Amino acid sequence: MDISIIVPLFNEAESLPKLYEWIARVMKENKFSYEVIFVNDGSTDESWDVIRELSKDKAVHGICFRRNYGKSAALYCGFKAAQGDVVITMDADLQDSPDEIPELFRMIKEDGFDLVSGWKQKRYDNKLTKNLPSKLFNATARRVTGIQLHDMNCGLKAYRREVVKNIEVFSEMHRYIPYLAKNAGFNKIGEKVVQHRKREFGTSKFGINRFINGYLDLMTLWFLNKFGKQPMHFFGLVGSLMFFIGFIAVIVVGSMKLYALSNHVPAMLVGVNPYFHIAILMMILGCMLFLAGFLAELIIRNSPSRNDYLIKEEI
């Protein structure tokens, strides 16, 4: 099979018939063998009934969650079910154009990209609530991940099949799938300018809080990528530094007190000296961080996935 198209959706009943009709037309014009996987993320409207009707076409498959789990869960299940050589993801709100699919497919198959991300260079969203925060968000993501994409969170993406079968999308990490792919060893990541269309039906399901959560998720991914296999390298180093600085501070405070006593100079009691308490606190926190790293190492050593490595090829 040439292409698997994964469409995660939540309350998009009105747009689904038009979207599938458009996809089917593009597929037939380009003579692709394909499947369309609609993942219904706990919709409360008639979305699943519409998918049932569309599934009379053998190319349509549907997955229905019992409740809303989020886009990452929908993509995870879609990736698991996909059978095509190239996997395309797109949103169900008709803001992504299926006409982009043939070129995305070509970039994967002929240009050799592992992943191609869409770039909505000209957007029709609200500039204050979406465009400006999105630009700031993407600038930070480029800085942290080292992947030079203008729109990392674009829903329209193309993947080589091996990519989606070797990454795990969880929590709200769908925003950083290119980073997950890079961490898994798929380094040929490209970008294509795609058309962004105005929403025809319904309203956006994402609020301003996605940008706040996005930064937190980015820091989580960065930390897991850098220290996920060696947590002691972070906690042990920071803990040791804090303990060492606190220990030196205690010696300095004690030495100053002894010096004052030996020279019969009035001096503050060590017990009421704020620097003494700060130094002790740093030593305690240093010990706790070191122990946290030690316990994390014990957990990693006993994890069944501690030796899971992605093998590209065997001879």
195: domain CATH number? 3.90.550.10
The predicted structure's pLDDT at residue 285? 94
> Is 307 within the bounds of a domain?
no
> Is 45 within the bounds of a domain?
yes
What is the token pair recorded at 197? 């269309």
Same-domain status, 60 and 201: yes
> Is 23 within the bounds of a domain?
yes
Same-domain status, 195 and 255: no
> Is 306 within the bounds of a domain?
no
> Is 146 within the bounds of a domain?
yes
Point out the domain boundary residue: 207, 227, 247. 227
In the numeric block, the tokens 């030796």 are attached to 307
The predicted structure's pLDDT at residue 130? 63
Same-domain status, 191 and 288: no
> Is 56 within the bounds of a domain?
yes
SS3 133: helix
What is the token pair recorded at 223? 């930390």
> Is 308 within the bounds of a domain?
no
> Is 177 within the bounds of a domain?
yes
Same-domain status, 241 and 222: no
What is the token pair recorded at 60? 């349509």
Same-domain status, 35 and 76: yes
- How many Å apart are CA 282 and CA 275, to the nearest integer? 10
Output the CA–CA distances (angstroms, integers) from residue 22 to 36, 201, 264, 283, in the order listed. Answer: 12, 16, 91, 64
Number of domains within the chain? 2
Point out the domain boundary residue: 170, 193, 227. 227
Output the CA–CA distances (angstroms, integers) from residue 179 to 8, 63, 83, in the order listed. Answer: 20, 26, 23
Same-domain status, 179 and 53: yes
Same-domain status, 105 and 167: yes
Same-domain status, 127 and 249: no
* Domain around 236: 232-301
- Other C-beta atoms lying within 10 Å of the C-beta of residue 150: 17
SS3 9: strand
- How many Å apart are CA 101 and CA 158, to the nearest integer? 8
- What is the chain's pLDDT, residue by residue, as a tens digit (315 residues)? 899 999 999 999 999 999 999 999 999 999 999 999 999 999 999 999 999 999 999 999 999 999 999 999 999 999 999 999 999 999 998 989 999 999 999 999 999 999 999 998 877 665 555 667 777 888 888 888 889 898 888 889 999 999 999 998 887 888 899 999 998 899 999 999 998 877 667 666 555 666 677 777 888 888 878 887 788 889 999 999 999 999 999 898 888 888 887 887 777 777 778 888 899 999 999 999 999 998 988 887 776 766 666 676 777
- Other C-beta atoms lying within 10 Å of the C-beta of residue 9: 24
Same-domain status, 101 and 75: yes
The predicted structure's pLDDT at residue 227? 84
Same-domain status, 184 and 248: no
Q: 92: closest CA among 138, 144, 127, 54?
A: 54
Residues 40 and 48: beta-carbon distance below 8 Å: yes
Point out the domain boundary residue: 176, 201, 227. 227
Same-domain status, 122 and 194: yes
Same-domain status, 281 and 132: no
